[in-house]
Chain A
Amino acid sequence: MSEPLIITSITIAYLAIVLLVGLRARHNQSSSLEGYVAGGRHMGLLVLFFILGAEVFSAFAFLGAPGWAYSRGAPALYIIAYLTLSVVVWWLIAPYISRLGRLHGYLTQAEFLSACYPTRNNFLGLFIGIISVLAIIPYMTIQIAGAGLLFEAATSGTIPFWLGSLLACAVVTAYVYASGLQGIGWTNLLQGIMMVAVAWFLGLATADQLFGGVGEMFRELQREAPEYLTMPGASGMGWGAFSTAILVSALGCVMWPHIFMKFYSAKSERTLKRVFVLYPLYSYLLVPLLIIGFAGVLLIDTPLDSADRVLLTIVVEIADFPAWLVGLALSGTLAAAMSTAANLAHTSATILVRDVGQHLPSLRGMSDQKSLKLTRYGVVLLSFLAYLLALANPASLVALLLGAYGIVVQLLPMLVGALFWRRASKTGAFAGLAVGAFITLLLEFGINAPFGWHAGFCGLLVNSIVFIAASMSTASTSQHSPAQALSETR
């Protein structure tokens, strides 16, 4: 068998196993919307840990993170820093989301926020729903395109881009359609273990084979290109840009709907907290991947057109790994892309039906069974849309992601206020959101942010100030924060 053929066979076998595990999981779920979306709020420690881990660590962990280390050096550590710090925010707010969700039957982020800040015709819910879907679709497209790219590069073109991304997309769609969160849970367990094993193996084996060890690799880098090992790195990322990127990403991570909505699925608040205690250890997955990126600085003579290809270049072309090993490596990296894509398809379909669909006159007050059916169709529809976008690869995709997600992050102050602040007012929350979103978009696409700070960070700062000032200036009669008031109504 030729090398590309061995690599392809191993990877296809892996996809078949994932599909099988995902489809089998459908026996565990009840046939209600709550079962499909939130696993009946019964997810346990092990599965929830891997759901969160594998969905947070996407194709970016295997392509973008080594790419950062390869092209910039030390600033790549921002990825480890923010992914770990984000757990602090989860710790503070997730138990309340989980509890109030159970109490009132919430399944989406928009439902929670619009209950805290009621609006006429639930305009806030509709707004959050639309913006969330607009943020998720490009994110999902990037995962599917990443899968296609991986397939094509690892099999030397035997599986072309369109077919590789189609295979990954079809497998994900099939098990999410059939098994909902149960399917995601058991496949993410498998894919999460695969990712960790492959990342550590590749990182250590690359350093060992080509340099005689990780320490030796870094010593050589210290002699050849020491600027990669400290701030500001090779491309000169300032402390302001670095620090604000860490803070805004750590704070904003919780606002990703696919992460937020997982809080509803936990069996208990104690389970959630156990998951969070263990979660920082999962982010060690990035260490070997950054090692590969750093190794790329020494190994690759002519600079790569796209830094994101550094891991593929080293694994496929430079390191002398046998074909079966490349096949396993490809499977592990695909696992990162697919496990995230599955959650995104599942989440965006839920939002589309629950938050946006409910506003259509024909769908108002639909039955649980009908919304379950529509959500499953939504999974197929949105996955297919993301696949088409991956093929078309429009230049505006990243701008859409940055813009829409930038606005979603601006919901954080009103969420924290709703939970912990007695004086949080609706006027203040909306004024903060509007100003924060405007500042973020202006600095992202218009003028340059001051001191090279992250646009979203500046937005959050102004947002919080406006929110606090406007809330303080309105007379408050309530003894409770908006979320406390919710728990009082029962």
Chain B
Amino acid sequence: MNYHPRLPARWMLIYFSICALAMVWPGALVANRIEPFVLGLPFFVFWYVAWVFALFVGLAIAYQGEKKEETYDE
């Protein structure tokens, strides 16, 4: 069997890095405030809730993309 581990598409690596940077220094600095409240949550709390969702969306898109390419067999 000829099978080589390889890194996923470049856009995915960039997207995931953005998600990670948004949740730590320095990305999270811009969100370190209480106002405005969103969905009843202070902004800094909402920031994390939102990035969890962003990660979910990114993974879902990546999954669809890889499914089309058929990069792995069933």
Contacts and interface: CB of A to CB of B under 8 A. Distances in A.
Contacts of A488: 2
A484 B49 contact: no
Interface stretch (A36-44, A79-87, A188-196): A79-87
Interface of A: 74, 77, 80-81, 84-85, 87-88, 91-92, 95-96, 99, 103, 213-215, 218-219, 222, 226, 229-231, 239-240, 242-243, 246-247, 250, 268-270, 273-274, 276-278, 280-281, 283-284, 287, 290, 419-420, 480-481, 483-484, 487-488, 490
Contact of B34 (A230, A240, A243): A230
Given A96-B5, A273-B66, A85 B23 contact: yes
Contacts of A240: 25
Contact of B59 (A87, A219, A484): A87
Interface in B13-66: 16, 19-20, 23-25, 28-29, 32-34, 37, 40-42, 44-45, 48-49, 51-53, 55-56, 59-60, 62-63, 66
B5, B7, B51, B53 interface centre (most CB from chain A within 10 Å)? B5
A280 B49 contact: no
B42 A218 contact: yes
Contacts of B52: 80, 84, 280-281, 283-284
A283 to B, nearest CB: 6
B25 A92 contact: no
B67 to A, nearest CB: 8
Contacts, number: 120
A88 B72 contact: no
B1 A88 contact: no
B59 A91 contact: yes
A209 to B, nearest CB: 16
A250 B66 CA distance: 24
A213 B39 CA distance: 11
Interface string B1-14: 11111111000000
A275 B52 CA distance: 15
Nearest to B42: A229
Contacts of A278: 56
Contact of A99 (B3, B7, B28): B3
Contacts of A213: 40
13 contacts: A77-B45, A88-B16, A91-B62, A96-B5, A99-B3, A218-B37, A218-B42, A240-B25, A243-B28, A270-B72, A281-B52, A484-B4, A484-B5
